[in-house]
C-alpha cells in the first residue's frame, strides 16, 4: 500500500476506536446518571413507607415531612400526617 493509503487506513481505524470508546463511556455515564435519578425518586417513597409502617404500629409521635419534590408524595405525606393527629 502507498503511504497515503496507509495513513488513510490508520486514520479510519483510529476513528473507529474513538467511536467505540465514546460509546462505552456514554453507556457507563448513562448507568451512573440513571442510578442517581432512581435513588432520587425512590428515597422519598421509601421514607414515607417506613414512617407509615411506624404509624401503623401505633407510633403517633412520628412526623411526616412536607418538603418532598414530588406533589403526590407531599400530598400522601400530608394525608398521613393528618391521619396521625
Contact 47, 62 (CB under 8 A): no
pLDDT of 1 reads 57
Q: Which mean pLDDT values do the consecutive 10-residue runs of the chain (85 residues) have?
A: 76 92 98 95 93 94 89 93 87
3-state secondary structure 11-67: HHHHHHHHHHHHHHHHHHHHHHHHHHHHHHHHHHHHHHHHHHHHHHCCCCCCCCCCC
pLDDT of 68 reads 87
pLDDT of 35 reads 96
Question: Measured at the alpha carbon of residue 6, what is the angle toward residues 3 and 10, in degrees to the nearest 5?
Answer: 135
Amino acid at each position: 500500500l502507498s503511504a497515503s493509503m496507509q495513513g488513510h487506513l490508520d486514520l479510519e481505524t483510529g476513528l473507529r476506536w474513538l467511536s467505540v470508546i465514546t460509546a462505552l463511556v456514554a453507556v457507563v455515564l448513562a448507568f451512573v446518571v440513571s442510578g442517581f435519578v432512581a435513588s432520587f425518586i425512590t428515597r422519598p417513597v421509601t421514607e414515607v413507607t417506613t414512617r407509615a409502617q411506624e404509624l401503623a404500629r401505633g407510633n403517633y409521635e412520628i412526623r411526616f415531612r412536607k418538603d418532598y419534590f414530588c406533589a403526590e408524595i407531599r400530598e400522601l405525606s400530608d394525608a398521613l400526617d393528618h391521619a396521625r393527629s
